[in-house]
Chain A
Amino acid sequence: MNLDLRFPIGGMFTIVGALLTAFGLISDHAIYAKSLGINVNLWWGLVLLAFGLVMLWLAIRAGAKGAKQA
């Protein structure tokens, strides 16, 4: 296919992960009372960010390989 799906997946989770991480850093800790006192926005944001970046890296690597072969 003409679009490597890992690009949009990676892109979306990188952006969402970055948004959540940033929000986790600046948000008032009181809102985390419901999530058992854990800053879930920060931690899960980092998980999403890592997932997004790995997807992007895989897509870029595959793209570079394809270009070399062609």
Chain B
Amino acid sequence: MQQIHLGAIDYAILIVYFGFVLGIGWFLRRYIKSSEDFFLSGRSIPTWIAGLAFLSANLGAQEVIGMGASGAKYGMMTSHFYWVGAIPAMVFVGIFMMPFYYGSRARSVPEYLKLRFDEKTRGFNAMTFAVMTVFSSGISMYALAKLLELVLGWNFHTSVVLSAIIVLAYIFLGGLTSAIYNEVLQFFLIVLGFLPLVLLGLKDLGGWSGLKEKLIPVATSAGYAPGAWSDSWRHLGSASANPMGVEWFGMVMGLGFVLSFGYWCTDFLVIQRAMAAKSMNAARRTPLIAAIPKMLFPALVIVPGMIAIALHNSRGGLLPLGADGLPNYNLAVPTLLAHYLPTGLLGLGLTALMASFMSGMAGNVTAFNTVWTYDIYQSYIKPGQSDKHYLRMGHFATVFGILLSVAAAYATTRFNNIMDMLQLVFAFVNAPLFATFLLGMFWRRSTGHGAFWGLLIGTAAAAAHHGLTLPHGGTPGLKGGFLGTVLHTYPSEMAQNFWTAIVAWTVCFLATIVISLITRPNKTDEDLKGLVYSLTPRQVDHELAWYRRPALLGVIVLGMTLVLNIIFW
């Protein structure tokens, strides 16, 4: 694509933003006195801030660039990643799971697993999570630097070093509070930075109906029904009727249940934001408050991708073509920024883009330093030290977490396949996790051995399923089929991933039940108080004002999501 030249005003906006990011860290540094201040913000974050940070920590590279790319590639169906693949799980974690996470006073998700099950289950989760966060942060860094190189012509190394230093500085100074505050700042920046792009694009194409009309040739030329790019549910009857190659059952079970609940309900990266809230009620409302902007985000991140493909199709080649002759979907959003925004607003848009990458990085780094310090260092390396010692470790972990991310970013530039392989392994490890938590929280008979071996068997099942199947047109290797025989060919990679998750979850669920029943419970009912549903007093909230009642808020959020699904059916 044509490189963008920034003017003085664009740099001025960028500098103002970085000034505020670092200023927040600098201001907060004097409030960090204990490890709990550093890792959990002293559990004192106001509800609305925790809610927006909950949303923003997940707003990493994959969101703005990836969802824009999917919007161009698959159209409105991408909204399932929000309305099916996020909102129901966010409501569930707020209403049903947060009482155990927050109420147990666990300082991290792995620590909950130790309290509920045993040491080995915690160890397994802590190690895989720590490695995963470092690599995710490295991938964000790599993607940001590559994008800046391509779009602005900035030097790759400078971008890596600069983003690393900025994220390091503000987390090192202000810990989780600083990360959370900056995530909220980034949330507003992303909304206000991308909104003009969406408004201009829609105005140019004649509004939503104009966009829909221009998407008809996109769909028909690819051999689908005219509405395939602008409807969300209508073409899910069979996998061959939509560009994603997924049918409704795989979508609802794979994405909507296993993958989405696995992420939103067990990933410490997001849960940490709710754990930092100032009270149980605030912690429970954190994901519910996050759900409201989340359900509207498709307008900000998916619609630009749809606008880009509509322009590409009707006005001739807006998007640069990749080596395979197809449009380079990952450049949909950056190309659109350059297409509509003049210098000035362009600076704001690019700042928002950088903010989204950095909030993703910072989220991973804060989750990493906590799990490293509490669940690995304090548990296995040096237990029984003073709180000061662990606070110092937290600072140190922030530095080497970032250094490892930089190393991961460079590893990605040299060995692209290694990164793809790692992501595949993480997918195997994550897929069964929600079964373990579900049984742990709602079935008091589940045991430590059951949880640990269930997780391992579930992970193995994910690998086996992937190894025995292939997506349409894929060659054996990273895409699957590496076990020699191919038992089934899926219509698309996405369908294969959804089914891998479904298999892993089901196997883990059944294996945990069977192994729990043949092993002896390792915790007494007394131990499990506050950790398991049937042994924990119910949250009483019917005397609170309606907007403070999690259950009522959950119903409202689900109702709004249902309406959105119907409107864009």
- Is B289 close to A, CB under 8 A? no
- Is A48 close to B, CB under 8 A? yes
CB contact between A12 and one of B20, B49, B339, B345 (< 8 Å): that residue: B20
Q: Residue of A at shortest CB range from B177? A: A1
Main SS at interface, chain B:
helix
Contact A12 B181 (CB under 8 A): no
A30, chain B: closest CB distance, angstroms: 9
Contact A40 B341 (CB under 8 A): yes
With A16-B348, A19-B9, A40-B196 in contact, is A3–B27 under 8 Å at CB? yes
Additional A-B contact list (4), CB under 8 Å, known A5-B185, A44-B348: A1-B44, A5-B49, A5-B184, A8-B185
Could you say which residues of chain A place their CB within 8 Å of the CB of B45?
Answer: 1
Contact B339 A8 (CB under 8 A): no
Contact A40 B185 (CB under 8 A): no
With A8-B20, A12-B17, A13-B192 in contact, is A1–B344 under 8 Å at CB? no
A19, chain B: closest CB distance, angstroms: 6
Of listed A15, A32, A40, residue having the most chain B CB within 10 A:
A40
22 chain-A/chain-B pairs, Cβ below 8 angstroms: A2-B31, A3-B27, A5-B181, A8-B23, A9-B185, A12-B20, A19-B9, A23-B344, A27-B343, A31-B343, A32-B342, A34-B339, A34-B340, A34-B341, A35-B340, A35-B341, A38-B200, A40-B342, A40-B344, A41-B345, A44-B345, A44-B348
Contact B348 A20 (CB under 8 A): yes
Main SS at interface, chain A:
helix
Contact A36 B344 (CB under 8 A): no
CB contact between A1 and one of B9, B46, B340, B341 (< 8 Å): that residue: B46
Encoded as 1 (CB less than 8 Å from any A CB) or 0, chain B from 338 to 371 comes to: 0111111100100000000000000000000000
Could you say which residues of chain A place their CB within 8 Å of the CB of B17?
Answer: 12, 16
Which residues of B7-46 have CB atoms within 8 Å of chain A's CB atoms? 9, 12-13, 16-17, 20, 23-24, 27-28, 31, 41, 44-46
CA separation between A9 and B188, bound complex, in Å?
8
- Is B203 close to A, CB under 8 A? yes
Could you say which residues of chain B place their CB within 8 Å of the CB of A36?
Answer: 200, 203-204, 340
Query: Which B residues contact A (CB, under 8 angstroms)?
Result: 9, 12-13, 16-17, 20, 23-24, 27-28, 31, 41, 44-46, 49, 177, 181, 184-185, 188, 192, 196, 200, 203-204, 339-345, 348
A20, chain B: closest CB distance, angstroms: 6
Which residues of A1-55 have CB atoms within 8 Å of chain B's CB atoms? 1-3, 5, 8-9, 11-13, 15-16, 19-20, 23-24, 27, 31-32, 34-36, 38, 40-41, 44-45, 47-48, 51
CA separation between A12 and B177, bound complex, in Å?
18
Could you say which residues of chain A place their CB within 8 Å of the CB of B203?
Answer: 36
Contact A15 B345 (CB under 8 A): no
Give the 9 A-B residue pairs with the shortest CB-CB distance, closest first. A41-B344, A31-B342, A12-B20, A23-B9, A23-B344, A44-B196, A40-B345, A15-B16, A2-B31
Give the interface size class of chain A.
Answer: 20 to 34
Contact B188 A13 (CB under 8 A): yes
Contact B343 A19 (CB under 8 A): no
Contact A12 B348 (CB under 8 A): no
Could you say which residues of chain A place their CB within 8 Å of the CB of B41?
Answer: 1
Could you say which residues of chain A place their CB within 8 Å of the CB of B27?
Answer: 3
Q: Residue of A at shortest CB range from B188? A: A9
CA separation between A45 and B13, bound complex, in Å?
12
Could you say which residues of chain B place their CB within 8 Å of the CB of A40?
Answer: 196, 200, 341-342, 344-345
CA separation between A4 and B16, bound complex, in Å?
19
CA separation between A23 and B9, bound complex, in Å?
7
Could you say which residues of chain B place their CB within 8 Å of the CB of A32?
Answer: 342
CA separation between A27 and B44, bound complex, in Å?
45
Contact B200 A35 (CB under 8 A): yes
CA separation between A2 and B37, bound complex, in Å?
12
Could you say which residues of chain B place their CB within 8 Å of the CB of A34?
Answer: 339-342
Contact A16 B200 (CB under 8 A): no
Contact B344 A20 (CB under 8 A): yes
CA separation between A38 and B23, bound complex, in Å?
34
Of listed B12, B17, B343, B344, residue having the most chain A CB within 10 A:
B344
B173, chain A: closest CB distance, angstroms: 13
Contact A3 B181 (CB under 8 A): yes
Could you say which residues of chain A place their CB within 8 Å of the CB of B31?
Answer: 2
Contact B344 A27 (CB under 8 A): yes
Could you say which residues of chain A place their CB within 8 Å of the CB of B343?
Answer: 27, 31
Contact A19 B16 (CB under 8 A): yes
CB contact between A16 and one of B13, B28, B177, B184 (< 8 Å): that residue: B13
CA separation between A34 and B66, bound complex, in Å?
25
CA separation between A34 and B16, bound complex, in Å?
25
CA separation between A47 and B195, bound complex, in Å?
11
Could you say which residues of chain A place their CB within 8 Å of the CB of B16?
Answer: 12, 15-16, 19
B563, chain A: closest CB distance, angstroms: 27
Could you say which residues of chain A place their CB within 8 Å of the CB of B188?
Answer: 9, 13, 51
CA separation between A23 and B340, bound complex, in Å?
17
Q: Residue of A at shortest CB range from B8? A: A23
Could you say which residues of chain A place their CB within 8 Å of the CB of B340?
Answer: 34-36
Could you say which residues of chain B place their CB within 8 Å of the CB of A13?
Answer: 188, 192
Could you say which residues of chain B place their CB within 8 Å of the CB of A5?
Answer: 49, 181, 184-185
With A2-B31, A8-B24, A40-B341 in contact, is A48–B12 under 8 Å at CB? no
Could you say which residues of chain A place their CB within 8 Å of the CB of B20?
Answer: 8, 11-12
CA separation between A8 and B188, bound complex, in Å?
12
B23, chain A: closest CB distance, angstroms: 7
A13, chain B: closest CB distance, angstroms: 7
CA separation between A3 and B188, bound complex, in Å?
18
With A8-B185, A36-B204 in contact, is A19–B342 under 8 Å at CB? no
